[in-house]
Amino acid sequence: MDNNEEERSGGESLKLSEAIKKFLSAGLGAAFMTEESIKAYVSELKLPKDVLNLLLQGANRSKEELMNRVGGELVKILSKIDFVKEASRFVEGHKFRIQAEVEVIKKPLS
């Protein structure tokens, strides 16, 4: 193997390494990206259409799973809160001041 072949091989290896890093980071961050931004992010990798579709499907599944889990946790937390009790405790610990101004204006005669 001569120097040119070694340089090409090293350059290709570096490109492949960068492509893999970018692909993995896109896969992990894809749950927070739109489909268009994912396509733009990996466009320079020149991925086959089926690989890109697989990445997009994975991103959509990740988004759905994340939203389902977050939604489920929120429901659990909110179901444990007694809102009437919390509102009563708030009212007991605060003083309310209401200021109003009322002005009566006579209608013009028609």
What does each of the 110 residues of the chain score in pLDDT, given as a tens digit?
444 444 444 555 666 677 667 666 665 666 667 777 777 777 777 777 787 777 778 778 888 888 899 999 999 999 999 999 999 999 999 999 999 999 999 999 87
Which pTM does this prediction carry?
0.48
Residues 6+ positions from 47 with CB-CB distance below 8 Å: 23, 55
- Burial string for 24-42 (b: 16+ CB within 10 Å, else e) reads eebbeebbeeeeeebeebb
